[in-house]
Amino acid sequence: MRYPVFWVLWLPLLLLAAGCGKKTDPLPPAEILPAPIADLDVVLDQRGIELSWTVPRRTVQGERLPYRVKKFKLYRAVVPQEEYREDEPPPFGRPLTVANELAAGERLVYRETLLLPGHRYSYQVKSRAGWLLASEPSNLVDFTWLAPPGAPRALAAEAGDRVVELRWQPPREIPALPAEVSAELRYQLYRSRDGKDFTALATTAELHHLDREVVGGRTYYYRVRAMAVLGETRVAGPVGATVSVTARDLTPPTAPLLEAAVPVREGVRLLWEMPDDRRIAEFIVLRRLPGEDEGREIGRQRAPALSHLDRHPPAEADVWYYRLVAVDVEGNRSEPGNELRFRRP
């Protein structure tokens, strides 16, 4: 096999170097060094931070590692935000040792909670499998830690015409920061249909928001949390209380177009075209006699019906008029549609 050959050739060199009194460490072959970690990531929440990275499975040459990575060296630098300089390397101190029991390819998670507000944190990590088997540094992640704000207060939701207006008050607990650190307070809104599974709705710096992506008659649940924001850093506090509201629809549906009134043996058959409005629940049929200002209701048809049979046309008239009114699921009525004249044959 390929890797044992490297060890056979490399181990005598290490022993020889130790016996000759060399002061510099011999370098292992590049073929067995772990590839640098490239996916170091950090997530910030109200409790602290969560660092994570993938346990290497490949060497720098792209081959499968012939051993298990036993531990990691985690490097951390902490600088007051007002002293941070983007063009200067982080002043890393003595690294922390993070033991590894995971297999190659799995995601390792490391949490920190004791952080100083208004300070810039930088992290890098190296893989270690032995005395000299250490990788190059990972990608760098950095952020400014901001103490999380408290939960927003008095969230209220009011239903309007196919819109929900949300309003709330800022949190009572807004941690102070050094004068040199200018952080903003923003709000993250969440929405749910069942009160259990919430998804992000919007982020705003205001104390109100209009949710226009609602359907009349449906119930929605809302939550809001405050976030301290500085550059790319966002530290979210706890969510506030949940409120629910049933959306309303006050917009009348589209007026239907009455196309024909056809005499049949049973009476008069009315035909119309279905409007392009999915909210329509039923149609009201109106009939007006000459000299009357408004028509009176003579029947209803549930959508998507496209006809109605007037079984009792007026016996005392030779001419009368028909119109239709559409009614949606919220009970909103359209204006009467076009008026169709009918003459007794």
Which pLDDT does position 338 carry in this prediction? 96
Which pLDDT does position 151 carry in this prediction? 93
Which pLDDT does position 8 carry in this prediction? 42
On whether both 99 and 192 belong to a single domain, the answer is no
Of the candidates 288, 14, 296, the residue with the CA atom closest to the CA atom of residue 130 = 14
* Cα angle, residue 121 at apex, residues 116 and 127 outer, rounded to 5°: 130
On whether both 328 and 271 belong to a single domain, the answer is yes
Domain count, the chain: 3
Domain-located, residue 285: yes
On whether both 60 and 132 belong to a single domain, the answer is yes
Tokens standing for 311? 């079984």
Question: How would you class 206 by CB atoms within 10 Å of its CB: exposed for 0-12, middle for 13-18, buried for 19 or more?
Answer: exposed
Which pLDDT does position 233 carry in this prediction? 79
Domain-located, residue 18: no
Which pLDDT does position 177 carry in this prediction? 59
On whether both 165 and 238 belong to a single domain, the answer is yes
Q: Which of 219, 247, 275 is the last residue of a domain?
A: 247
On whether both 186 and 241 belong to a single domain, the answer is yes
61, 30 contact by CB (below 8 A): yes
Whole-model pTM?
A: 0.60
Domain with 207 in it: 153-171+182-247
Each of the 345 residues of the chain gets a pLDDT tens digit; together they read 444 444 443 444 344 344 444 444 555 566 688 999 999 999 988 888 999 999 999 998 888 888 889 999 999 999 998 888 988 999 999 999 999 999 999 999 999 998 988 899 999 999 987 777 789 999 999 998 888 888 999 999 999 988 999 999 999 887 665 555 567 889 999 999 999 999 999 999 999 999 999 988 899 999 999 988 877 778 888 999 999 999 988 889 999 999 999 999 999 999 999 988 888 999 999 999 999 999 999 999 999 999 999 999 999 999 999 999 999 988 899 999 999 999 998
- Residue 13, by phi and psi: left (phi above 0), alpha (psi -120 to 50) or beta? alpha
Domain-located, residue 24: no
Which pLDDT does position 245 carry in this prediction? 97
On whether both 262 and 291 belong to a single domain, the answer is yes
Beta carbons within 10 angstroms of residue 74's beta carbon: 20
How far apart are alpha carbons 117 and 106 in whole angstroms?
A: 32
On whether both 140 and 232 belong to a single domain, the answer is no
